[in-house]
Amino acid sequence: MAQKKYLQAKLTQFLREDRIQLWKPPYTDENKKVGLALKDLAKKYSDKLECCENEVEKIIEEIRCKAVERGTGNEHYKATGIATIEVFLPPRVKKDRKNLLETRLHVTGRELRSKIAETFGFQENYIKIVINKKQLQLGKTLEEQGVTHNVKAMVLELKQSEEDVRKNSQVEEEEQNEARLKEKRIQRTKRGLEILAERAEMVVDPETTPYLDIANQTGRSIRIPPSERKALMLAMGYHEKGRAFLKRKEYGIALPCLLDADRYFCECCRELLDTVDNYAVLQLDIAWCYFRLGQLECLDDAEKKLNMAQKCFKNCYGENHQRLVHIKGNCGKEKVLFLRLYLLQGIRNYHSGNGEEAYEYLNKACQLFKELYIDPSKVHSLMQLGFSAQEARLGLRACDGNVDHAAAHITNRREKLDQIRKEEKEKKRRRLENINYLKGMGYSARAAKQALHQASGNLEESLQILLSHPQMWWLNDSGPETNSHQESPSRETIDQLVYMGFDAAAAEAALRVFRGNVQLAAQTLAHNGGSLPPDLRLSAEDSSATPPTSPSDSAGTSSASTDEDMETEAVNEILEDIPEHEEDYLDSTLEDEEIIIAEYLSYVESIKTATRRS
C-alpha cells in the first residue's frame, strides 16, 4: 500500500513537471473515456521509474479518473451549489477507502453524519467525522464549520458494521456495548477535565480534593495568567488522555482527544507555545495517530505540523539542545522525540514521492534508534535494584547506557522530586491559609486569589492591592447577580462608622456595597477620603433600588448525589491516565518505531536500487 502511494505521488510529480492535463485530449476523449495516448505516457514513465508498465498505466488511469471526477464535480458545484466531499473510510474497509459524496453545505453536521453512515454502511451513533483536523459538530451547519467543496472527511469508527457482526448476535451485542462504552468514555473525559480545571480556579484543599496544576520541567508549579490558565489546563489534560489511548493503540478514540487538545492550545498565546515542548509533542502525536489510522494523507498540513514541532523543539531546547542540557544535565531522553519526528518526516516524504529526502530522514531515525536502543539485561539489572522499567529506560538513556550512572541518576531524581513536592505542598498550604485569611476579612475567594496572584503570593502586598482597588471586592464567587440583592444595613452598623468619624450617608452607602461588613466599609472609606469611589457609588445605588429576593427551595438530594457520583467517576478516570512520572512522554520501548523504520527503509532502498540499475 505504501509503495503504491509512493508511485502515485511520483507519477503526479512527473505529470506536473511535464504539464500533462489528463482530463483533456488526447488522454481523455469527448465522452470522458480514456484516450490512446495514455498508453504511450505509461510506457514513458515506467521506463523512467523502472516499473511494470501495466501497473504504471493502471495508476495513471486512476489519477485521470479522479481528475475527471473533480472537474465534473467543480462544474456541478458551480451550477447547483452541491459540494463534493472526499470521504476516507476506516482501515478495516479493504477496498475503495476513498469515496466521493455529494452534499449541500447548509445541512447540519448531524445530517452529513447520517448520510455517510447510510451510504457506507455504518451505524450512525458509532462513528465520528473529522474535517479540517476538527471533529464535526453535529448541531452546526457545514458552512458554519468552514466545510467547503472538495474537502476531505475522515471517518472514525467506534464499532464494526452490522454486516460484519451479524453472523453472531452475541458478538453484535458486545460490539454495540463496547461502542457505547467508548462514547461514554469520551464524554466522561470531557466532563472530568472540565471539573479538574474548574477546581484549579476555586479554593480547594489539595490534601482532600484533586485538581490539575501546571509544573515546569523540574516539577515546580508555574504561574500562568488567569486568562490562559484554564485553556492550557484543558489542552494538557486532553493531551494526556489522548496519549493514554495512544499507548493502548486505541487510535480512533485518541484522535478526538488530541484534536481537542490542539484546539485549546490555540487559545493560548503564541509566546507560550513557542517556549514549552508540550505543543510540539502534541503535533507529533497527532501526525502519529493519523499515520497509525492509515490516513496520513487526510492531514493536509502534515509537513507544517512536523516543521512546527521541529521549530518548537529548537526554541524550547536551544540550538543543539544547549538549553536542555543546562536545565537537565543531558538530552538523551528527549532524543526519542526527534527519532519519531525524523521517522514521520521520512514517511511523509516517501508518501509525497520524495525518495531521496525520505531516505535522509529515515536514515537519521535509524541512527538515533541504534543510539537509543537499550539492552534488556540492563533494564533487568536496574529493576533488581527496585526501580521501575520506565525509570530504568529513562535513566539509561540519560546516562548513555551506563547502569551505575543510571542508578545514581534515578536515585538523585527521586530525592530532588521528593524535596520539590514537599516545598510545593507547603507553598499550597500557605496560599490556602492566605486566601482563608482574606476571606475572613470579608473578601471573596476569587478576589483573594486574584490579589495574591498579582502580589506573587505576598499577603501584605495583596492587602494593599485590595485596599487600592475596592472594586475587586465585586469579584464574587457566586456570580454578579447576587451582588444586587442586598438588605439595608442595620442602624447599629451605621452608628459604628459614624462613631469613627464618617458621614452617615457615606457609611450607609459603603455598608450596602459591602453587605454590612463594617471592616471593609471602614477601610474603603478611610482609603478614599471618607467617600466611596464613583464606580462603587453606582453599585450602592443599584443595590438600594433592587428589592431583595429569596432563593427558592427545591428538593433533589437523590439527583445531586447521583451527579456527584458521576463527577467523581469522571475525575477518577482522568486521574488514572495522568502518569505519575513527569517524563512519561519521553518513555518508549521503540518496538513499533523499529519495525516501521525497517519497513520504510526497505521501500526507499528498492527505489535506490532501481535508480542505480537505470
Tell me the domain boundaries of the chain: 1-76, 81-159, 179-397, 490-532
pLDDT score recorded for residue 513: 79
Bridge partners, residue 130, by sequence: 135, 154
Mark the ranges of the chain whose per-residue pLDDT is less than 50.
Answer: 161-169, 171-172, 203-204, 210-211, 478-485, 545-561, 612
Query: Which fold is adopted by the domain 179-397?
Result: 1.25.40
392-399: long-range pairs with CB below 8 Å, 24+: 393/587, 393/588, 393/589, 394/333, 394/581, 394/583, 394/586, 394/587, 397/332, 397/333, 397/335, 397/336, 397/372, 398/328, 398/329, 398/330, 398/332, 398/333, 399/330, 399/332
Q: What is the pTM of this model?
A: 0.72
Give 81-159's CATH code, choosing from 3.10.20.90, 3.30.70.330, 3.30.200.20, 3.30.460.10. 3.10.20.90
Nine cell digits for residue 604: 526507499
Q: In what order do the strands lie in the sheet with 134-135?
A: 98-104, 82-88, 152-157, 127-131, 134-135
pLDDT score recorded for residue 540: 53
> CA–CA separation, 545 vs 511, rounded Å?
15
